[in-house]
Amino acid sequence: MASISLRRFIRWLPDEASEPTSTLVLTSPEKRFVDVRVTLADGSDSLAASEEILPLSRLDWAMAGTSSSTVLGEGHSLSRWRHWIDSRSLDAPPDEGHMYAQPDGLSTLEKGQMVNPTTGKDTDYEEMWFDPPPKTTGGNKALCVVLVMEDEDKGKKGMFVRLGEWAQVFVRDGAGEGDLVAERWEWRDDDGKGWRRRVRLGDGGRKLPCEEVLGAADVEVGGEFGVGDEVWRVVEATEV
């Protein structure tokens, strides 16, 4: 099942809960995901309504890969994420968390342990996720599209996920800390413009497939989109 996951807070036990980022995870029906976490400006609780072009220093974390989940009991499952690309590591180990469904039917409390970036120590954490249903974007059905790009010779990997009214892409162009680019797009019908880029982090001149894919009339599995010398392959395209 596909999901749009917006993080409401993170809590490093025993500290109080807070949300220093704008975090969105898009997961496809075949469990491919792109997770982009943007550090918010001081004193802000959200990204600006207009497009933001930000330095990589504002990228808290970005990941793309595949996930799986095992039911352990009613309303309780163990989820595991394998990071095909990770902004913090070239060879990140899988991470996992216990997921607890909340009474509202749209929220999930995640519990686990990972390194607290502030202290550098393994710490118990809690994260609250809100999973609204995907919206349509002008048609009768919400859509999901996933593309991947890999050039082993150049050390480049990328994944794009569009789900309902949201789309995200994350690319690693090499082994360096600066070889990262991420974007988030949103579809809105309040001004007639449809898709618009909400945030971009990384190399401002680096071309990505978002605009072409989001503007395409028909996207099918097996199709390809060219971006410079790169080939982005469509691996999922379905109604959700």
Please tell me the distance from the alpha carbon of residue 160 to that of residue 125, in angstroms, as a whole number.
28
Asked if the model's pLDDT at residue 190 lies above 90, the reply is: no
Yes or no: domain 143-239 corresponds to CATH 2.40.50.100 = no
Asked if the domains at 3-44+57-130 and 143-239 fall in one CATH topology, the answer is: yes
Domain extents in the chain: 3-44+57-130, 143-239
Compute CA 209 distance to the chain's CA centroid, rounded to the nearest angstrom.
Answer: 16
Q: What is the chain's mean pLDDT, rounded? A: 96
Asked if the model's pLDDT at residue 30 lies above 90, the reply is: yes
Question: Could you read off the pLDDT of 141-154 as tens digits, one per residue?
Answer: 899 999 999 999 99
Compute CA 214 distance to the chain's CA centroid, rounded to the nearest angstrom.
Answer: 16
Yes or no: domain 3-44+57-130 corresponds to CATH 2.102.10.10 = no
Question: Could you read off the pLDDT of 227-236 as tens digits, one per residue?
Answer: 999 999 999 9
For the sheet with 224-227, list strands across it: 52-54, 194-202, 180-188, 166-172, 156-163, 143-151, 230-239, 224-227
Question: Could you read off the pLDDT of 69-109 as tens digits, one per residue?
Answer: 999 999 999 999 999 999 999 999 889 999 999 999 999 99
Confidence class for position 217, pLDDT limits 50, 70, 90: confident
Confidence class for position 51, pLDDT limits 50, 70, 90: confident
User: What is the value of pTM for the model shown?
Assistant: 0.96
Q: Which residues pair with 168 in a beta bridge?
A: 161, 184
Contact 126, 141 (CB under 8 A): no
